[in-house]
């Protein structure tokens, strides 16, 4: 599961990191990206990488209403090749979704409110999630396009590694630079080989930091959300 993440790095910095063209549509920095927000994603176009803005929550081409995307912010790696909503994009429209970090929540014994954690790389580098993207076009009764197309994306998840498992049994697929070209290549439709990239990240790659419950409110978007908070006494020793 990945339901909230941080995207606060400047777009030109993101573009340089991926050796990609910078986005035309600029997004505000957010320390609390939520489903249906716009996010940056990296894709390959004619052999050239570029950063574009996408609606977070994949809307299949056959959807009658784009609101269906709110239920498709994540796609399970194990069933990509089977689900009609994801199979076409898995073959042809794959992307990378950069993040400074993401959030996950853990139950605290004896308390109603869960403890949020901010998950980042231990080396300070950005996280790079495996993603899929799609283009949806509204249509009238006659089947003709009636409005502006919507470009959307989803984050692929896999089983949690040892570091993540105490908090949640799922985590985003984090792709290393060595896999980027293979994943982005739209001419590569070998889904069996591509599926082998969708594995849990090494446990030592990530760290979990407890943070304030301010992140629970999607209207809070500032850097104070990632300030470390005291570990609940009942969870000392996590990770």
Query: Whose structure tokens read 């570990």?
Result: 231
Cα 203 to Cα 121: distance, rounded to the nearest angstrom: 10
- Annotated domain spans of the chain: 5-235
| Listed range (45-59, 96-110, 146-160, 223-237) with the worst mean pLDDT | 223-237
- % of the chain residues with pLDDT over 90: 87
User: What's the Cα-to-Cα distance from 229 to each of 55, 106, 236, rounded to whole Å?
Assistant: 31, 14, 12
Strands (DSSP E) along 57-169, which ranges? 74-76, 94-99, 101-106, 115-121, 127-136, 150-159
Does the reported pTM lie above 0.85? yes
User: Mapping DSSP to helix (H, G, I), strand (E, B) and coil, where does residue 157 land?
Assistant: strand
pLDDT above 80 (res 173): yes
What's the alpha-carbon Rg for the chain, to the nearest Å?
Answer: 18
Active site residues: 2, 104
Give the class (CATH, top level) of 5-235.
alpha beta
């Amino acid at each position: 599961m990945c339901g909230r993440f941080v995207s606060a790095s400047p777009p030109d910095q993101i573009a340089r990191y991926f050796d990609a063209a910078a986005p035309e549509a600029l997004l505000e920095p957010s320390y609390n990206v939520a489903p249906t927000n716009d996010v940056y994603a990296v894709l390959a176009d004619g052999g050239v990488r570029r950063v574009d803005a996408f609606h977070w929550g994949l809307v299949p081409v056959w959807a009658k209403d784009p609101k269906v995307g709110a239920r498709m912010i994540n796609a399970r790696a194990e069933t990509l090749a089977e689900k009609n909503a994801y199979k076409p994009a898995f073959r042809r429209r794959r992307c990378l979704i950069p993040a400074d970090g993401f959030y996950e929540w853990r139950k605290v014994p004896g308390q109603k409110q869960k403890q949020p954690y901010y998950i980042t790389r231990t080396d300070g580098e950005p996280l790079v999630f495996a993603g899929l993207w799609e283009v949806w076009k509204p249509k009238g009764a006659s089947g003709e396009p009636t409005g502006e197309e919507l470009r959307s994306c989803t984050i692929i998840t896999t089983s949690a590694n040892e570091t993540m498992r105490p908090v949640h049994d799922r985590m985003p697929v984090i792709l290393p630079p060595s896999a980027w070209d293979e994943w982005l290549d739209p001419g590569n439709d070998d889904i069996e080989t591509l599926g082998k990239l969708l594995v849990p990240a090494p446990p030592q790659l990530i760290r979990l930091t407890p943070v304030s419950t301010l992140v629970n409110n999607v209207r809070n978007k500032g850097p104070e959300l990632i300030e470390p908070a005291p570990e609940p006494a009942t969870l000392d020793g996590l990770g």
